[in-house]
Amino acid sequence: MKNLFILLLVCLFSFLLFTYKITEVPPGINGDEAGIGYNSILISRNLTDENHNFLPLFIFAKGSDWKQPVTVYTTALFFRIFGVSYWLLRATSIFFILVALVILYLISKEFMGTNFFLISSLILITTPIVLIQSHLALENIAPLPFVLFWLWTTLKFEKTKKTYYLFWGGTSLGIGLFSYLGMRLIVPVLTFLTLIYLKKHIKQSIYFILGISPFFLLLLVAYFRYPSAVFGNFSGATQSVYEFLLRYLSIFDFSFLFFKGDITAYHSTGKAGMFLAATLPLFLIGVFKILCNKKPFEILILLSFFLSPILFGLVPDIYRASRLLALVPFYAIISAVGFLSISKKPWIIFFVIIMAINYFYFVKDYWFDYAERVKKVFPIPIERTYEFHIKE
């Protein structure tokens, strides 16, 4: 009961943190948000999108692009239950974060206990890119619960050897394929890492394959009807090994991860990185500790952080933190391992104070100065905003 109370407090704190100024920062509503909102309204009312397609797998938002089903249908469900509102449109992103926190709690129970949950959840919710995405009605944040559920089922299998956990882990990653376009590049790598992790359980790994295979098959079939929705504008941009490595290694540029963040104004304040800079020492300590421990599950998490985005080397753009939300759970867990390994040191309070100061300056800028900066860069799409609000 005490542990559940702690989970409730963490979720309540997160809800209050993420909903503060949710409709004010960033200001207005951009084209992608309006497209998701408009189609979610239509689906919630008559089960068709703006193109009059009945319960489509992918949704084409005019003036924007193809939308993935997880966010649109989740938003449509909330609109159906609670009614249409701009607040709820953006708050759907917070729902994904809260579900992720619950699953992180389940992982912590099997992993290192309540203290681990407190630290890892704190690192996750104070990650700058998480707060930024929580205020956007976009798809980028949706992969979090699916990645964490896969980790939990993998850990449960390691402890119980019950094969149905592998099936549900594969299913979770399979659904994750449809949560965000970039997951088409991440899930295949996580699938490969899972099979390597299960190399001593070859017969049991078939359950994982059975869980995920239908979703790969569905994606293949969908390609013939929604080719642009399945792969976006991807056209195999890499022309050499050098370009591939440049794009992949740019993901781990410390200036990008901890100081500058995404190159697009709606996904970054320009004054903070994807991760909180003060957590970098904890992450490095966590990496060292995991390498020393040599525990298979911890190694899987470490490899997932560094290898899951490798196929982004095929994509021309670099420094796009908004595409890398799937890395956040791995980062939070690794950093929490680092924190707990030095938690009994007298100078641990130094890290806590620095983290608090670092986060304070980030949220101060985000809540009160960022909105003014960003509205000068992105005009509000009047026609799409009208379509959304007229339905509201």
CA 28/CA 34 separation, integer angstroms:
10
Q: How buried is 14 (Cβ within 10 angstroms: 0-12 exposed, 13-18 middle, 19+ buried)? A: buried
The pLDDT, as a whole number, for residue 381 is 54
Location of structure tokens 């670092």 = 358
Q: Is residue 71 part of a domain?
A: yes
Q: Is residue 4 part of a domain?
A: no
Q: Kindly give the interhelix angle for 296-307 and 280-293, rounded to the nearest 10 degrees.
A: 130
Total domains present in the chain: 1
Specify the 3-state DSSP secondary structure of 54.
strand
Q: Domain of 37?
A: 27-391
Number of helices (H) and strands (E), helices first, in the chain? 19, 2
What pLDDT tens digit does each residue of the chain (392 aa) get? 778 899 999 999 999 999 999 999 998 888 889 899 999 999 999 999 999 999 999 999 876 689 999 999 999 999 999 999 999 999 999 999 999 999 999 999 998 888 999 999 999 999 999 999 999 999 999 999 999 999 999 999 999 999 999 999 999 999 999 999 999 999 999 999 999 999 999 899 999 999 999 999 999 999 988 888 888 766 555 578 889 999 999 999 999 999 999 998 889 999 999 999 999 999 999 999 999 999 999 999 999 999 999 999 998 889 999 999 999 999 999 999 999 999 888 888 988 999 999 999 999 999 999 988 887 655 555 445 545 554 55
Which DSSP string do the residues of 250-281 spell out, in sequence order? HTT-HHIIIII--SSGGG--SSS-SS-GGGHH
Q: Is residue 5 part of a domain?
A: no
CA 352/CA 358 separation, integer angstroms:
10
Q: What pTM did the predictor assign? A: 0.94
> What sign has the CA pseudo-torsion 327, 331, 332, 333?
positive
Count the Cβ atoms, other than its own, within 10 Å of residue 270: 16
Q: Is residue 338 part of a domain?
A: yes
The closest alpha carbon to 312, from 300, 325, 302, 299, belongs to: 325
Q: Is residue 347 part of a domain?
A: yes
The pLDDT, as a whole number, for residue 231 is 81
The torsion of the CA quartet 91, 251, 247, 198, rounded to 10 degrees, works out to: -90
The closest alpha carbon to 134, from 366, 365, 317, 327, belongs to: 366
The pLDDT, as a whole number, for residue 170 is 98
Residue type, 351: F
Q: Is residue 365 part of a domain?
A: yes
CB 311 within 8 A of CB 185: yes
Run of H or E residues at 66: strand 66-67
CA 291 and chain centroid, separation: 25
The torsion of the CA quartet 219, 224, 230, 234, rounded to 10 degrees, works out to: 130
The pLDDT, as a whole number, for residue 313 is 93
The pLDDT, as a whole number, for residue 383 is 47
CB 58 within 8 A of CB 226: yes
